[in-house]
């Protein structure tokens, strides 16, 4: 799709081809003043045929629909001709007015029609068939349309995008201008996608002083919430939050300190002593962390140690039946799982964590209801394949409902299970952990399984590591490599990397390779060649489904963005007859590999088979799938995710979808792929870490291929730095709050 320069045009609306009421995405057919008919697409207020509009946007040439303008600003002008007014009123835009009534109104009031609707709607009762109730309904509908248009122009006047403007209007409605004038910083709290700098720009335009108390307070809260979102912290030390907020605000630390003290006094923030410093929390994060500690301790108290004198005999029977001999560490893990209220089993790849889960299932299934769960769809699918028992995502287990963040399963409606086993615990953040524990009855035995040496959760908290460090919960650490994996170079090299040793590369008959090349451009080209042509026949795998490119970084020639474009052009190039959907700087095509990048609790999905169909809400950060269909006329895109859910994306929902031929190592957590390809080129030391390298390698099942220089591999192995993550779950487990 070829894009041209920005332009501003005046046009007459001929027809509304499509409109999404939820997000305002609209496709119009308009006639320009020179008589040409073109399409206009973008987020716009409700419009009707016969209205005149001023549109600002960029021209593009659509391969199927021809010339169109992608609208960034839309200003609607009231129709001026009688035929235009009649067409507008009869378009269906106003409740209670159809074509026949529209004709009657225009015949009665003529050119004064719109003024009557706005200033004297009671006069509509002069028309036969319109009573007081119907007149009021028509007037209210006309006022709503007028308010939406005014709000869109008002918001876009501050440089906000149409999509964001529509989102703000949907939140505040007719109050939008008064809310923003009163406190523009409310936008940061209320509207996803509005950051402090955007609100600050609006505040400056409104004349709010740089040292205004509401600005300083908003800046402190934003600095704390941003630290949680980007750094995974649950709190910040007082001195750190003061420094970060002062930097953000460009204000003196004394003024910021006064704002922080006021927030603490109002209990908008919470301060507690942690590790010899003052920890400053957002209230929600404090409640999540302390309640997680209380509920974990409560589970252990409700189910104290229970002896199992017949366990050795039952284990022997299981070993004889399966032909598997457990090592000492695995036996300790099984014993803890069947005798303790809460148990954590941790270990690297090949140490037999899955074998333990299978053994526990066999032993406990005899008398207990055992459920299996994992944080992501891919991790749950792996758990199902490994155990032969259905596992589900934690969100599905907790029965996510309609409102954002709300689960049907909670303390008042707990999960019905005697035993719950959760895998991939390193991915679970503090909020999900709190929700899970709230939904467990006191008599449920909880078994947590994970690898603490992987990257921590994307969300706030350091749940698995904090539990391990607390010494308050029974823990079994598996260190012996299970004999079936003792010859896998992936497993052996993962352990070598974790211990700061160089991996063995390119051994004969091995599964761990380095494709040597210099320079990021050459490495990117080599990656594309490997994925699209060389590896599929060599490994006997499908290029799209079985090979995953992982990158430590977003930017650069070997970053996620550039590699996605390169791999898309190589594996799914533009072809005649293959539908496309352009959104921002991305062009999606049928057959593309994609990933959801944000939790969307309202997104509808459906899943069906020959004899059943299921529907629900919610797609989540990290869900991966394939573009199944694109409707170019309605501008929708349908994705089938790995767990067979199908979701249809419209308009601004596409902000949360990106290509996934290459994904970041963080985003790959909880997933496993037959083959992993990863660039080993230069980059920031904070990204090229041992921890990240280890996580990437442990995503592969059959082959790891590094592309770049051995010196960079060595650099990653030697770089033991880990980003500091402030969390205090370990403290609350040791000293119950």
Give the residue ranges of the annotated binding site for ATP. 350-354
Nearest residue to 626 (alpha-carbon basis) of 527, 566, 545: 545
- The torsion of the CA quartet 72, 577, 649, 432, rounded to 10 degrees, works out to -120
Nearest residue to 643 (alpha-carbon basis) of 666, 620, 659: 620
Half-sphere exposure of 300 (CA within 13 A, CB side): 14
Largest CA distance in the chain: 94
301 burial class (0-12, 13-18, 19+ CB within 10 angstroms)?
exposed
Mark the binding-site residues, compressed into ranges: 350-354
- Determine the distance from the C-alpha atom of residue 327 to the mean position of all C-alpha atoms in its chain, rounded to a whole number: 40
Q: How far apart are CA 199 and CA 208, in angstroms?
A: 11
Q: How far apart are CA 253 and CA 256, in angstroms?
A: 5
Token code pair at residue 398: 């907790």
Q: How far apart are CA 700 and CA 683, in angstroms?
A: 22
Question: CA Rg, the chain, in Å?
Answer: 30
In contact, 713 and 678? CB cutoff 8 Å? no
In contact, 60 and 1? CB cutoff 8 Å? yes
Measured N-to-C along each axis, helices 253-265 and 238-249 cross at an angle, to the nearest 10 degrees, of 120
In contact, 215 and 183? CB cutoff 8 Å? no
Q: How far apart are CA 317 and CA 609, in angstroms?
A: 39
Q: What is the DSSP letter of 426?
A: G
Residue with the two structure tokens 């964001």: 164
3-state secondary structure of 520: helix
3-state secondary structure of 586: strand
Q: How far apart are CA 517 and CA 662, in angstroms?
A: 19
Q: What is the DSSP letter of 239?
A: H
Cβ of 531: how many Cβ atoms within 10 Å?
Answer: 25
Nearest residue to 423 (alpha-carbon basis) of 455, 450, 384: 450
In contact, 27 and 18? CB cutoff 8 Å? yes
Nearest residue to 275 (alpha-carbon basis) of 243, 226, 238: 238
Q: How far apart are CA 650 and CA 554, in angstroms?
A: 25
Token code pair at residue 713: 């591999």
Q: Could you write out the DSSP letters of every residue in 672-690?
A: -EEEEEEEE----TTTS-H
Residues 6 or more apart whose Cβ sits within 8 Å of residue 661: 531, 549, 563, 564, 567, 568, 571, 592, 593
Q: Could you write out the DSSP letters of every residue in 4-29?
A: EEEEEEEEEEEEEEEE-TTT-EEEEE
3-state secondary structure of 70: strand
Residue with the two structure tokens 């939140």: 171
Residue with the two structure tokens 């004349």: 207
Nearest residue to 282 (alpha-carbon basis) of 387, 188, 413: 188
């Amino acid at each position: 799709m070829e894009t041209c320069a920005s332009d501003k045009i005046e046009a007459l609306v001929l027809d509304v081809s499509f409109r999404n009421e939820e997000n305002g995405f609209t496709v119009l057919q308009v006639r320009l003043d020179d008589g040409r008919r073109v399409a206009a697409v973008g987020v716009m207020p409700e419009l009707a045929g016969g209205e005149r509009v001023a549109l600002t946007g960029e021209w593009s040439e659509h391969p199927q629909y021809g010339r169109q303008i992608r609208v960034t600003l839309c200003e609607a002008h009231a129709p001026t001709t009688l035929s235009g007014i009649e067409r507008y009123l009869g378009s269906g835009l106003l409740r209670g007015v159809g074509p026949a009534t529209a004709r009657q109104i225009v015949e009665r009031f003529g050119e004064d029609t719109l003024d009557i609707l706005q200033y004297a709607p009671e006069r509509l009762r002069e028309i036969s068939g319109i009573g007081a109730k119907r007149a009021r309904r028509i007037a209210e509908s006309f006022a709503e349309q007028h308010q939406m248009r005014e709000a869109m122009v008002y918001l876009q006047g501050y440089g906000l995008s149409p999509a964001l403007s529509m989102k703000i209007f949907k939140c505040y409605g007719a109050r939008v201008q008064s809310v923003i004038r009163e406190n523009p910083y409310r936008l940061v709290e209320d509207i996803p996608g509005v950051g402090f700098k955007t609100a600050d720009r609006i505040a400056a335009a409104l004349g709010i002083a740089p040292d205004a108390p509401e600005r300083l307070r908003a800046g402190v809260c934003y600095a704390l919430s941003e630290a949680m979102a980007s750094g995974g912290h649950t709190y910040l030390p007082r001195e750190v939050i003061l420094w970060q907020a002062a930097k953000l605000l460009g204000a003196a630390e004394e003024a910021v300190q006064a704002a922080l003290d006021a927030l603490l006094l109002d209990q908008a923030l919470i301060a507690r002593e942690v590790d010899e410093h003052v920890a400053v929390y957002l209230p929600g994060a404090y409640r999540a962390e302390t309640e997680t500690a209380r509920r974990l301790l409560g589970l252990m108290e409700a189910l104290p140690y229970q002896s199992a004198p017949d366990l050795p005999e039952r284990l022997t029977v299981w070993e004889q039946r399966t032909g598997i001999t457990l090592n000492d560490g695995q036996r300790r893990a099984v014993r803890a799982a069947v005798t303790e209220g809460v148990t954590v089993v941790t270990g690297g790849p090949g140490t037999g964590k899955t074998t333990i889960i299978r053994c526990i299932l066999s032993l406990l299934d005899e008398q207990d209801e055992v459920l299996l769960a994992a944080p992501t769809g891919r991790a749950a699918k792996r758990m199902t394949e490994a155990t032969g028992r259905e596992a589900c995502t934690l969100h599905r287990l907790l029965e996510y409902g309609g409102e954002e963040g709300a689960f049907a399963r909670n303390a008042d409606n707990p999960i019905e299970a005697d035993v719950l086993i959760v895998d991939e615990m390193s991915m679970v953040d503090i909020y999900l952990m709190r929700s899970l524990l709230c939904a467990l009855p006191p008599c449920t035995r909880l078994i947590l399984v994970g690898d603490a040496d992987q990257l921590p959760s994307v969300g706030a908290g350091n749940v698995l590591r904090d539990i391990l460090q607390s010494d308050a919960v029974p823990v079994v650490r598996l260190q012996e490599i299970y004999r079936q994996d003792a010859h896998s170079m992936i497993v052996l090299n993962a352990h070598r990397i974790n211990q700061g040793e160089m991996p063995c590369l390119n051994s004969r008959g091995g599964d761990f390779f380095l494709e040597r090349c210099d320079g990021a451009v050459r490495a990117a080209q080599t990656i594309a060649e490997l994925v699209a042509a060389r590896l599929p026949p060599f490994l006997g795998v499908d290029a799209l489904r079985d090979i995953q490119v992982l990158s430590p970084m977003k930017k650069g020639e070997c970053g996620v963005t550039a590699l996605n474009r390169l791999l898309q052009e190589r594996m799914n190039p533009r072809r005649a007859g293959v539908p496309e959907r352009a959104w921002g700087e991305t062009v999606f095509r049928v057959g593309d590999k994609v990933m959801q990048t944000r939790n969307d609790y309202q997104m509808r999905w459906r899943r069906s088979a020959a004899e059943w169909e299921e529907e629900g809400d919610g797609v989540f950060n990290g869900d991966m799938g394939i573009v199944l269909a694109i409707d170019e006329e309605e501008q929708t895109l349908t994705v089938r995710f790995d767990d067979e859910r199908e979701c249809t994306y419209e308009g601004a929902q596409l902000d949360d979808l990106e290509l996934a031929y290459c994904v970041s190592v963080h985003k790959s957590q909880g997933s496993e792929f037959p083959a992993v390809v990863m660039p080993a080129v230069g980059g920031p030391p904070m990204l090229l870490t041992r921890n990240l390298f280890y996580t990437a390698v442990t995503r592969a099942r059959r082959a790891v291929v590094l592309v770049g220089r051995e010196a960079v591999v060595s650099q990653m192995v030697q770089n033991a730095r880990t980003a500091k993550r402030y969390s205090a779950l370990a403290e609350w487990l040791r000293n119950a709050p």
